[in-house]
């Protein structure tokens, strides 16, 4: 079913909207949550909470990009769940990805800084200027929190090539942010 029709079901308060969302985006939601959380039950809970939040948010919100809206909602809920959980249960991929970003963003708390809208806008501008492959690899790593291995498999690159691409992209981003006062 097309996104517009699914959104219309939410506006009509038709519970079929949740079923259609799950059919179309369930795997994506699980993937986003799984990359952040280690616990299968936590992942299920976050995906379920995503659907509940969609139900409570639409209407009045009418998302322009439904898949991005769902991913952002799932990601934010997963990060909140991760903060709630004991630090010992943190995903090693998340810790590694955030520690890689700490070197380019001058802030005490990377998570708070990333949520800063101005910084997000600047990073978006930077990524628009990057080649599509570098941009996609960067987004898979730092937004979807995919592992180096899964990125290399997805794009057919060696793990060392992915690491090198990320290193050089972070280096360019650091210079870009420095030019803009970050």
Q: Domain count of the chain?
A: 2
The conformational region for residue 158 under phi > 0 = left, psi -120 to 50 = alpha, else beta, is beta
pLDDT tens for each residue of the chain, 182 residues long: 999 999 999 999 999 999 999 999 999 999 999 988 888 999 999 999 999 999 999 999 999 999 999 999 999 999 888 877 755 555 666 667 766 776 666 555 555 555 566 777 888 899 999 999 999 999 999 888 889 999 999 999 999 999 999 999 999 999 998 888 77
CATH no. for residue 40? Answer: 1.10.1740.10
Could you give the CA distance from residue 141 to residue 139 in angstroms, rounded to a whole number? 5
The residues, any chain, with a CB within 8 Å of residue 71's CB and separated by 6 or more, are 28, 29, 32, 144
Place of tokens 């998302």: 63
Instruction: Give me the domain span that covers residue 46.
Output: 3-87
pTM over 0.85: no
Looking at the structure, tell me whether residues 7 and 67 fall in a common domain: yes
d(CA 2, CA 137): 27
């Amino acid at each position: 079913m097309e996104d517009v029709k699914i959104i219309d079901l939410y506006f009509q308060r038709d519970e079929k909207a949740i079923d259609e969302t799950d059919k179309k985006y369930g795997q994506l939601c699980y993937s986003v949550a799984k990359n952040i959380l280690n616990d299968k039950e936590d992942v299920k809970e976050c995906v379920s909470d995503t659907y509940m939040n969609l139900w409570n948010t639409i209407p009045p919100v009418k998302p322009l990009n439904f898949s991005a809206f769902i991913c952002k909602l799932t990601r934010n809920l997963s990060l909140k769940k991760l903060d709630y959980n004991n630090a010992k249960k943190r995903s090693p991929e998340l810790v590694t990805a955030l520690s890689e970003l700490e070197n380019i963003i001058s802030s005490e708390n990377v998570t708070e800084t990333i949520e800063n809208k101005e910084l997000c806008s600047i990073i978006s501008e930077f990524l628009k200027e990057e080649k599509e492959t570098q941009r996609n690899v960067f987004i898979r790593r730092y937004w979807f929190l995919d592992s180096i291995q899964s990125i290399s498999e997805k794009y057919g690159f060696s793990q060392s090539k992915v690491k090198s691409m990320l290193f050089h992209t972070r280096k360019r981003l650091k210079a870009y942010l420095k030019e803009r006062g970050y």
